[in-house]
Structures are given as C-alpha cells and as structure tokens.
Amino acid sequence: MSLVEHLTELRNRVGVSLLYVLAGTALAFWWYDHGLGEFIRAPYCSLPDELRYGGSEGGCELLVTDVFGGALIRLKISAIVGVVLSAPFWLFQLWRFLTPGLRRAEKRYGVAFVAGSTTLFALGAALAYASLATGLRLLLGLAGEGVLIALTAQDYIGFVISLLLAFGLSFELPLIAVALNLVGVLSHAALSGARRWIFFLTVLFAAFVTPTQDPFTMLVMAAPMIVLFELAIQMARVIDRRRAQRTAIDSFHDVDDDEPSPLEVAPSRLEDEDRSTVPR
C-alpha cells in the first residue's frame, strides 16, 4: 500500500473508532440515571454523617454551583465511561491497522500486551475504588469539628476520576518493563541489580501521583506495584534464560556439516587408583 492508502485506512479506522466511542457515550449517558451515578457516589455516601452535607438526614447529595455544572458533569462522566466501554472495539480497529505490518511472534506479543494492560488497568481502578472511601474519610476528617463539609460535584467527580486514572496507569509500568525486556532493551541483570532503586522510586512515585497524598492511599498504590515489579523481574529472568537457550541452539546452524567438533588434544591425567589397570 502507498502512503496515501495507509492514511486513508487510518482515517477510516479512526472514524469507526469514534462511532464506537459515541455509542458508548450515549449508553453511559442513559446509564447515569440507572445506577452509574449511584455507583460513583457510593464511596461518598458511605462516609459518617458528620462528613457529608445533610448527612444527619440520611442524604449524600453533591453541590452544583453553576447552571451548566450538572450537564457538564454528566457529559464528562459519560464520555469517560464511553471510552472505557468501547475500548475493545476501538482497540480492535487499531489492531487491524497494525496487524499487516507485524510478524507472527509480534502479533502474539501484541495480543498478550493488550490483554495484560487491560487487566492491570482494571485491577488498579478497582483497587482505587475500593480504597476511595477510606481515603475520603481520612482527608475530610482532618478538617476537625466545627467545619461544615459540602463537596461540590465538580470537585468530587474530578477527584474520583483522577484517582482511578492514577491507579490504573501506574499499574501499567511493570508491564512496560516486561515489554522492554522482550525487545531487548532491559535485561534481567539490569532489573535485578536496580531492584532496591525500583522499589524506592515506586514508593516515591506513589507519594507524588496519588491525588489524596495521604499515607494510606500511597501505601495502597505502592505495595501492589512493588509486587508487580517483582513479578516483572522474575518474568524477565525467564525470558532472558529462554533467549539464551535459543541463541545457543541457533549458533549451531552456522556450523558446516563437515566441520569437526573441537576436541581437547592434551592427554588427560589418570587417577592414582586407575593406574594399575593401564597396560605397560
């Protein structure tokens, strides 16, 4: 295919992907009144009464301070959820665009990378959602007595989205280390030698990336990442070992069939107990 044909195909793939995203956004817009909004507010509603506006009356409402605030929040949530819901479809379009230029092994690695990255992102987002209520309770509780806490919908939704994205994207870093090892950029020796620095930088990274910046959320992010990095180091060890075995096997294909194998021509020293069996 020519360059123009490649660009035309890319345009078509992007157009189809946008249609899938719009369909997912429309579905999420409808879903907002049928459980999605309650799902997002659930961590806030689980807080004690004194930490919620109108909590003593059993409510957990969020404030909207401008005319277009409610519409923009709903559109923002619908767009993000639509991208997530339609991810298998637009990722398939991207995969169809890249597949003709890949080898069989590269296709296999690509499928494993997409599946692994999706799983890790979902795992990180689920962990962030599970720790959201505890982080909110810790942060809002620092305000002390005599303070009326009334969160706006913009602030709360932005906080939730940033936390989910921070956890989800952070869990992709160990997978990137494995991918770099597969292409020969990072070796197991380099990763193993830098293990202490990797763990230290992981904790430091979690301290800066977490939106709450409290010790609990930082540890919730850092501990699983350390485990994932250790798994990545062990996977790199297995990959390097298999690569070395394949290299050793492939090296024999360059040897001519008539070439003799190297032999040690120097005489070997006989053991003392075996000298009696040697004929004189």
Going from the first residue of the chain to its last (280 residues), give the mean pLDDT of each consecutive group of 10, the final group possibly shorter.
81 91 92 84 82 67 80 87 85 79 72 82 88 82 73 84 86 86 83 89 85 76 90 89 78 63 66 53
Q: How much is the pTM? A: 0.73
Domain segments of the chain: what residues? 3-51+66-246
Contacts of 220 (CB under 8 A, 6+ apart): 127, 128, 131
Q: How far apart are CA 79 and CA 27, in angstroms?
A: 10
Predicted local confidence at residue 50, as pLDDT: 75
Predicted local confidence at residue 251, as pLDDT: 62
270 CB-contact burial (10 Å; exposed 0-12 / middle 13-18 / buried 19+): exposed
Predicted local confidence at residue 27, as pLDDT: 92
Count Cα neighbours of 118 within 13 Å in the Cβ-side half-sphere.
14
Structure tokens at 206: 């979690």
Structure tokens at 242: 């298999």
List, as one string, the DSSP characters of 120-147: HHHHHHHHHHHHHHHHHHHHHHTT-TT-
DSSP-derived 3-state class of residue 63: strand
Predicted local confidence at residue 254, as pLDDT: 61
